[in-house]
Amino acid sequence: MIGLLGAERSAHSARKRFLPPSGRGDRVIGLLGAQRSAHSARKRFLALAGRGDRVIGLLGAQRSAHSARKRFLPPSGRGGRVSRLVGALLEVLLLGGCVTPPPPAAPPPGFRLLAGRYQLARDLTNPALDWVRANVGSAPSAAEPIEQQIAYTPVAHRFRAGDTGRVHDYVAQAAQQRWLPMLVAAFTEPGQCPGPDQVAVTDLARGLGGEKAIVVLEPRLLTGDCPGVTTYLAAAVRILRATAPNVFVFLDVSGTDDPSRYAAGLTEAGLAQAAGVTLNVGGYTPAAELAAPARRLFDAVSASTGRRDYFLLADSSRNGAAVTGNCNPPGAKLGSPGTFSDEPGALQQAWLTVPGISDGPCGTAPESHPGEFVPALARSLTG
C-alpha cells in the first residue's frame, strides 16, 4: 500500500510539471497519464502481494481511478455525463486489465477424518501397562516386549455399567493432552439382554459432556439374539447425541461374516444419528479379509439411510495374522495400531481391545478367565 501511494504521488508531480490540465486536450493527456501511473503502481504492488493483499491493491486502484476522474473530468452538465462514461470505461481498463482475479476456492472436503488434528489416546490405566509397572523391575526381559509394543499404544478403555462414574475424569485427562479417547461401552454382560432402563447410558453421556471421544456402543449386542435390541440401541444413540454432542457414536456388528445382513437392524437402531459402525471388536479377522464385507455394509447402510459419510472402524488389536478360531487362538499377532482414511467407505483401524486380554478358558490360555490380562498371551502376540 505504501508503494502504491508513493507511485501516485510521483505520477501526480509529473503530471503537474509536464501536463497542466488546461483545455480539453490537456485533460485527455492528463487522464492517460493518471491511467498509466495507476496501472504501474498496481503492477508493482500486485507483483509482491498475495491473494489477501490483492484486495487492498484493488481498492487502491479504484481510489486512483476515482481521483483521476475528479481531477480531469469534473461531472458538470453534458460534459459530466461524458466524463462518467469515460470514467466507467477507465475503471474497466484499470481493473480488468491489471488485476487477475483469484482462482475459485476449492470445495470443502466431503468426508471427515476420524481423528482429525487429534491423536488417539493412550489408556494409562490399561491392564498391560499396570502389569508392566508392577513387573518391569523384577522381570525386565518378560516385561520389555509388552512395554515396547503394547502398554503405551493407543487403545480403547472398556467401561461397564458400574464404571461410568470414572468417565468424566478419563475423557478430561485425554482432552488436556489433545488426545481423542476411545471408549467401549459394554453395559450388557455376555449371555444377557439389556433392560428397559438407560441409566448406564445416561451416566456415560453426562460423563462425556462436551468432550470429543469415540464411543463403541454395546459390542456384539445387535448380532445376538436379544429381542427389542434395536429399540434399546436407538434410545441410547439419542441420549448420547443429545447430551454428548461431540462424540463419535458407533454401533457394532462384530461376530458375523456378513455384516451387510444387519443394515436394516442398524437403521432401526439409530445409525442415521451415529458416526458409523464397528467390526471385529475382540476378533482376529485380518483387515484384508474385512475390507470387502465392510464395503458391502457401507453400500447397504448408505442406500437405506441416504448418507455416505459413515465411518467403518475395525478392531485391529489382534488381527495381524490369519488364525483358526476366535478364543485365544495360537498364532495370533498384533495388528495395525491405527490406520485412518478420508476415503468414503474405507476401513479405519484402531485397537479396541487390549492385546493380552483373555477370551476365556480356551486356546492358548486354558486356565484364564474372560477379560483377564495374561502376560503370556500378550508376549505371544508380539513375537
The whole-angstrom separation of Cα 150 and Cα 351 is: 10
Which pLDDT belongs to residue 289? 97
Per-residue pLDDT, averaged over 79-93, amounts to 46
Which grid coordinates are listed for 24? Answer: 480539453
Which pLDDT belongs to residue 115? 66
Which pLDDT belongs to residue 100? 40
Q: Could you tell me the pLDDT band of residue 309, with boundaries at 50, 70 and 90?
A: very high
Which pLDDT belongs to residue 354? 98
- Mean residue pLDDT across the chain: 80
Q: Are residues 324 and 206 in the same domain?
A: yes
Residue 108 lies in a domain: no
For residues 208-247, b (16+ Cβ closer than 10 Å) or e, as one string? Answer: bbebbbbbbbbbbbbbeeeeebbebbbbbbbbbbebbeeb
Q: Are residues 130 and 28 in the same domain?
A: no
Q: Could you tell me the pLDDT band of residue 112, with boundaries at 50, 70 and 90?
A: low
Q: Are residues 63 and 158 in the same domain?
A: no
Written as one letter, the residue type at 33 is G
Per-residue pLDDT, averaged over 111-118, amounts to 66
Q: Are residues 64 and 167 in the same domain?
A: no
Q: Are residues 174 and 73 in the same domain?
A: no
User: For the segment 189-208, what is each residue's pLDDT rounded down to a tens digit?
Assistant: 988 999 989 999 999 999 99
Which grid coordinates are listed for 105? Answer: 476456492
Does residue 143 surpass a pLDDT of 60? yes
* CATH code, 312: 3.20.20.40
Q: Are residues 91 and 151 in the same domain?
A: no
- Please name which of 283, 245, 251 lies closest in space to residue 264, comparing C-alpha atoms: 251
User: For the segment 224-276, what is each residue's pLDDT rounded down to a tens digit?
Assistant: 999 999 999 999 999 999 999 999 999 999 999 999 999 999 999 999 999 99
Per-residue pLDDT, averaged over 90-97, amounts to 42
Q: Are residues 127 and 72 in the same domain?
A: no
Per-residue pLDDT, averaged over 64-81, amounts to 45
Q: Are residues 92 and 151 in the same domain?
A: no
> Which of the given ranges, 17-26, 43-52, 216-225, has the highest pLDDT on average?
216-225
Does residue 139 surpass a pLDDT of 60? yes
Residue 103 lies in a domain: no
pTM for the structure as a whole: 0.71
Q: Are residues 143 and 21 in the same domain?
A: no
Question: If you compute the radius of gyration of the chain from its CA atoms, what whole number of angstroms results?
Answer: 34
Per-residue pLDDT, averaged over 316-322, amounts to 98
Domain boundary among 98, 132, 151: 98
**In this prediction, what percent of the chain has a pLDDT beyond 90?**
64
Please give the full DSSP string across 151-211, using - where no structure is assigned.
ITS---EEE-GGGGGGHHHHHHHHHHTTEE-EEEE--SPTT----S--HHHHHHHHHHTT-
Does residue 93 surpass a pLDDT of 70? no
Residue 210 lies in a domain: yes
Residue 110 lies in a domain: no
Q: Are residues 93 and 133 in the same domain?
A: no
Which grid coordinates are listed for 261? Answer: 445382513
Q: What residue numbers bound the domain in which 232 lies?
A: 119-382
Residue 106 lies in a domain: no
Residue 113 lies in a domain: no
Q: Are residues 129 and 48 in the same domain?
A: no
Q: Which residue has the cell 494409562?
A: 124
User: For the segment 155-193, what is each residue's pLDDT rounded down to a tens digit?
Assistant: 999 999 989 999 999 999 999 999 999 999 999 998 899
Count up the domains in the chain and report the number. 2
Q: Are residues 294 and 356 in the same domain?
A: yes
Does residue 103 surpass a pLDDT of 80? no
Per-residue pLDDT, averaged over 294-312, amounts to 95
Residue 276 lies in a domain: yes
Does residue 57 surpass a pLDDT of 50? no
The whole-angstrom separation of Cα 265 and Cα 304 is: 10
Please tell me what DSSP assigns to residue 159.
E
CB 11 within 8 A of CB 34: yes
Q: Could you tell me the pLDDT band of residue 58, with boundaries at 50, 70 and 90?
A: very low
Per-residue pLDDT, averaged over 66-82, amounts to 46
The whole-angstrom separation of Cα 37 and Cα 196 is: 80
CB 247 within 8 A of CB 212: yes
Residue 346 lies in a domain: yes
The whole-angstrom separation of Cα 153 and Cα 120 is: 9
The whole-angstrom separation of Cα 174 and Cα 286 is: 29
Please tell me what DSSP assigns to residue 105.
P
* DSSP helix/strand/coil, 100: coil
Which pLDDT belongs to residue 341? 85
